[in-house]
Structure formats: structure tokens, C-alpha cells
Amino acid sequence: MTPPNDRFVSETDFAVRYAETDAMGVVHHASYLVYFEEGRSHYMRHLGRDYSLIEKSGLRLPVTEIGVRFAGSLTYGERVRIHTWVADSRSRAIKFAYEVSSMQSEEILVTGFTQHMWTDLNGKVCRAPDELQDLLTQPPA
């Protein structure tokens, strides 16, 4: 999975925390979903649209589908780099894609996606505002 050239790609990094690892010191598979969320949150902050601002405007983006492919693993103390981008954006749904790599080796270890639906605060599916739709599908700066 390679980010498209016509989309903004956010990059964030941090160290693997001990609590994210299993008894072998390897990042537990469920922790990668938290990494995806961190990448997605950073992506939105980078665009100036923190999730809290989206919720204050009366919208939510619940996850409706997740896909993950593991090609390797990270260990405690390694630096993680996450690339995040919008793989698909429609009026009522958005799909984020992720690449997780080790900053030491630069090897892509995990790829995946999360699919979300735009809803109001009561959970009713709605259309994304044009302003957000445009912001999320902008070309790289």
C-alpha cells in the first residue's frame, strides 16, 4: 500500500511504550489499532481539524471496518513512524490508510486501513460538510 502522490500524507513518530508489548517485548497486535488512531488524530490536527472540533461541530466518525496486514513487528523502545493518508473520501464515508515502520530500519512492518461513517451526535449517518470533504482530499502542500 503506497500513499498516492495527489494526497496529503501525515507523518508522526513516537517510542513504543512498555504497556503496548506482550511478554516477549513485542508490540501486541491490538496496539496497532491505537497506532492507527494516533496517526489519524495527528493527520487531523495537522490539517487544523482536531477531532474535538469536529465533534463540537456536531459530527462524529465512528469506525465501521478495519483491515491490518502484519509483515513484521516492533519491540519495546523502538521508534515508530506512522504515515497516514485518506485513501477514499465520499459524502458519507471516509477511509484512512496507514503504514507503520521502524524508524531504525525504515522497513514497513504493518499496513492497514480504517473505514468511517460520518454521523451526527445521535449516530444518524449524514453527509460530510463540503469544507471538510475538500480539506480531506486536498493535494499535498
Active site members = 22
Interacting residues of 122 by C-beta distance below 8 A, sequence separation 6+: none
**Dist CA 7 CA 87 (whole Å):** 8
**How is residue 138 written as a grid cell?**
486536498
What burial class does residue 7 get, using C-beta atoms within 10 Å of its C-beta: 0-12 exposed, 13-18 middle, 19+ buried? middle
**Dist CA 43 CA 39 (whole Å):** 6
**Dist CA 37 CA 39 (whole Å):** 5
> For residue 25, is it left (φ>0), alpha (ψ between -120 and 50) or beta?
left
